[in-house]
Structure 1
Amino acid sequence: MSPEGKKLLNIVILGFGFMFMFTAFQTCGNIEQTVLKSFNNTEFHGSGYTSMAIIYGVFSASNMIAPSVVTVIGPQLSMFFSGLLYSGYIAMFIYPYTWSFYTASVLVGVGAAVLWTAQGNVLAINSTDGTIGRNSGIFWALLQFSLFFGNLYIYCAWHGHVHITDMDRQTVFISLTVISLVGCFLFFLIRKPDPEPAPPEAAEVLLQAESTDSLWSRALDAFGECAGVRRGSVGSPPSAPSGLELTFYSGVYGTCIGAMTRFGQDAKSLIGISGICIGIGEILGGGVFGMLNKCRSFGRNPVVLLGLVTHYTAFFLIFLNIASDAPIAPEEGTHLQAYITPSVGVALLCSFLLGLGDSCFNTQLLSIIGFTFRDNSAPAFAVFKFIQSIMAALAFFYSNYLLLHWQLLILVLAGFLGTVTFFLAEWRAESSRRESDYDSI
């Protein structure tokens, strides 16, 4: 197999591994608040929103050490061991205790930082400037198939269920644990790409650098560079709204739909259909917009602007269609009505738009970070995930308390600021590329 074919195969395997893992984990995040409300145990006092806030809070802090972990043990083992922590978190729901629930939340937060830093590293070392957009799109599309399969299973398993029994919960989470473990072992099929030949002088400089600088100090230097100390904040501010939107579509919106008693007895199973619609939007966006990166004249900015318009449309329709107390409603749901007669069709259309808009932002963020920091990608992706996860933790925390319309207002403001800062980052990246082309001539 040619070197380019081997790299493409690695990207496909990477995508399938994440698809299996996140079929389990994203489905778990989508349903856990609803499941825990139905859990009949007076000794359990956990909240799904609080758990996810812990996960993303620890995730953000752990990004400081993630580049060093990936450098020391390699991206393949990093993804495998991190995946085992994800599987442990999912298995905990088979019979949850408060202490195990929150302990597993901390551990999976650490694993998430290492997992996503390693993923970014594998994506970068298997890509070139000409293929990074294509590979980002392929990976993103395969990853988002996880939303389709996992949520289809939830719909079939919970169809017609007004209350989630212990047997329902255990059957679902045993299945999800097995699916997650399959994804972990797929990472062992990834092969190291053939190294590009380097001139002797470069190899000598690299050896000197290895002998004089510690892995930790180099990671911190690169981390600071990516954060904007020397080259401008390419990944940091634009990734903030993606963290807030991640919280909303992966945990809050499904809970809102399940709490709408006006949707009838199938409200709980509609959480699965909503997740499928989000996945269709993500897959469509990942496939189309990732490929558009190959066209330099088209650029990334129009795709990001389309994502902003798509999200604003979804937020407005959700504001009209979903009751304001739906995110924090008790197990029996909310009987309130928003500004229009609640419509299942509108709710599922909004799910699709949320997924489509999210893919617009994320494919372009992955592309610009991989393009700008291809030679030092692990710390760059760590910064991206650091900002994204700390904002997700904040959003899951306030989701315990804020009504829906306040959450939507925060998303509107963050989306606008994130789009503006992405435009600035894209301008800097293109300016840097043009300067590099000029220097090479």
Structure 2
Amino acid sequence: MRLNVNLFNVVLTGVSFLFLFTAFQAASLASQNVLEAAAREGGGSAAVGIGYISLALLYASFAICNWFAPVVLMLLGYKYTMFAGALCYVLFVASFFEPHAWSLYLASLLNGFGAAILWTAQGAFITMCSDESNSNLHFSIFWALFQMWNLNGRFSMESFFPAVLTIVFDCELLSLLFSQPVSRDYMTTCCHTFGRSFVLLRSKIMLAMLVPSGFTGLCATFQSSLFATCIGHTKAFDPNAKAYIGLVGVFIGLGEVCGSLLMQLRRWIPSTGLLAIIGYPSALISAFLCFALLPADSPMRDSDQKTYFAPNGLACCWPLLFGNRGKPQWKRKSACIAGQ
């Protein structure tokens, strides 16, 4: 049977991202709680850094470097750009082994650059491997594989991270060595590539995508670190408050995998736009439930404030499963529109 090169590329890319983000998202979810614990062990010193500042630097760098990512992609190509971006993620995860403010913040800035080139290369690579007939299928496969990072459980920092770092290098090397080449239809200059980004920004499609992109970014910010920090700070969960942080990742993954599978219901729901619209009220209901179940000051400190409903660990995680069903649909629909 003849190998489907394009499908092979999509699956291998999804598996590589699965292992890479297993390490990164575990560090991101627990960053604020881990650094607070490290500061307490050091006598209350803030020299270990602050998780919120670290992630703010990361995503600010991510946003700025996205303007230059197409130039890097043009110079290095798809595979080498993804490999370089993955190395930046590894440096960020490694900074938690011995946390210091300067190394954590520097690694966050580098990770922002790596994220920009990695995701730009990933989107361009899968788009090049797809056409109008299978683009939804390919992006669904990628996101389903990618979001399975949440379902592997949560182990301790000491025993889990070193093994994951080794797997990350192995999988990214496999992606580098065995991904099949994809033909390029054109070559262009760096200046033209950089200038074309501003031309695309003024197009009607890109302007229309600003609002859903901002909304998904807001949801991602809440779920990547803020919600897990709130869970860890809620004293009503003691002594299991920190243990529920792992469940946060599991429920995020379940929600996004279910959302990826919903994209395949084209036989019964012919419009993918309708599926994306359904995800919007799901996200709003999820946000309201989180507001009602968690203390108002839990993002900043340990809290025992009263809430509208009695906090329960599993009940607080269910809104993530419910609200994350729409995010894969928005991301994949945006990627398909941009690719076309």
TM-score (ref. length: structure 2): 0.92
1:178 aligns with 2:166: yes
Matches of 1:106 and 1:286 in 2, distance apart? 30
For the Cα contact (< 8 Å) 1:79–1:119, is it kept in 2? yes
CA deviation after TM superposition for structure 1 residue 362, in Å: 1.6
Matches of 1:239 and 1:122 in 2, distance apart? 20
Matches of 1:296 and 1:131 in 2, distance apart? 18
1:311 aligns with 2:283: yes
For the Cα contact (< 8 Å) 1:226–1:234, is it kept in 2? no
CA deviation after TM superposition for structure 1 residue 307, in Å: 0.8
1:254 aligns with 2:228: yes
CA deviation after TM superposition for structure 1 residue 177, in Å: 2.7
Does the residue aligned with 1:38 lie in a helix, a strand or coil? Answer: helix
What is the aligned partner in structure 1 of residue 55 from structure 2? 52
What is the aligned partner in structure 1 of residue 306 from structure 2? 337
What is the aligned partner in structure 1 of residue 154 from structure 2? 153
Matches of 1:280 and 1:124 in 2, distance apart? 25
1:239 aligns with 2:213: yes
What is the aligned partner in structure 1 of residue 180 from structure 2? 191
Query: 1:63-120: per-residue Cα shift (whole Å, max 9, x none)?
Result: 1111011111101000111111111111111101111111111111111100000001
What is the aligned partner in structure 2 of residue 216 from structure 1? 191
Matches of 1:45 and 1:231 in 2, distance apart? 43
For the Cα contact (< 8 Å) 1:90–1:176, is it kept in 2? no
How has the CA–CA distance of structure 1 residues 357 and 232 changed in structure 2, closer, same or farther, with 3 Å as cutoff? closer
Matches of 1:367 and 1:230 in 2, distance apart? 16
Matches of 1:358 and 1:109 in 2, distance apart? 21
Larger Rg over CA atoms: 1
Query: 1:144-186: per-residue Cα shift (whole Å, max 9, x none)?
Result: 001222xx124xx4xxxxxxxxxxx444433443343234223
What is the aligned partner in structure 1 of residue 337 from structure 2? 368
Matches of 1:20 and 1:98 in 2, distance apart? 26
What is the aligned partner in structure 2 of residue 384 from structure 1? none
Q: Which amino acid aligns with 1:282?
A: E
Does the residue aligned with 1:233 lie in a helix, a strand or coil? Answer: helix
CA deviation after TM superposition for structure 1 residue 261, in Å: 1.5
For the Cα contact (< 8 Å) 1:19–1:183, is it kept in 2? no
What is the aligned partner in structure 2 of residue 327 from structure 1? 299
How has the CA–CA distance of structure 1 residues 282 and 230 changed in structure 2, closer, same or farther, with 3 Å as cutoff? closer
Structure number with higher relative contact order (C-alpha < 8 Å, ≥ 6 residues apart): 1
What is the aligned partner in structure 2 of residue 434 from structure 1? none
CA deviation after TM superposition for structure 1 residue 231, in Å: 5.6
Counterparts of 1:329-408 in structure 2, within 5 Å, are 329=301, 333-370=302-339, 372=340
Query: 1:387-413: per-residue Cα shift (whole Å, max 9, x none)?
Result: xxxxxxxxxxxxxxxxxxxxxxxxxxx
Unpaired segments of 5 or more residues in structure 1?
Answer: 158-168, 197-202, 373-441
Does the residue aligned with 1:119 lie in a helix, a strand or coil? Answer: helix
For the Cα contact (< 8 Å) 2:48–2:99, is it kept in 1? no
Matches of 1:91 and 1:304 in 2, distance apart? 36
CA deviation after TM superposition for structure 1 residue 232, in Å: 5.1
CA deviation after TM superposition for structure 1 residue 306, in Å: 1.1
Query: Of 53, 73, 88, which residue of structure 2 is paired with 1:70?
Result: 73
CA deviation after TM superposition for structure 1 residue 342, in Å: 1.0
For the Cα contact (< 8 Å) 1:93–1:170, is it kept in 2? no
Counterparts of 1:92-171 in structure 2, within 5 Å, are 92-149=95-152, 152-154=153-155, 157=156, 169-171=157-159
Query: Of 250, 254, 268, which residue of structure 2 is paired with 1:276?
Result: 250
Query: 1:321-350: per-residue Cα shift (whole Å, max 9, x none)?
Result: 111111111xxx211121011122321211
Which structure 1 residue ranges, 4+ long, deviate > 4 Å from structure 2?
294-297
CA deviation after TM superposition for structure 1 residue 229, in Å: 3.6
What is the aligned partner in structure 2 of residue 24 from structure 1? 23
For the Cα contact (< 8 Å) 2:70–2:193, is it kept in 1? no
For the Cα contact (< 8 Å) 2:90–2:165, is it kept in 1? yes
Matches of 2:139 and 2:200 in 1, distance apart? 19
Q: Which amino acid aligns with 1:144?
A: Q
TM-score (ref. length: structure 1): 0.72
Matches of 1:49 and 1:286 in 2, distance apart? 29
Does the residue aligned with 1:192 lie in a helix, a strand or coil? Answer: coil
How has the CA–CA distance of structure 1 residues 2 and 355 changed in structure 2, closer, same or farther, with 3 Å as cutoff? same
CA RMSD of superposed structures (Å): 2.1
Count of residue pairs the alignment pairs up: 335
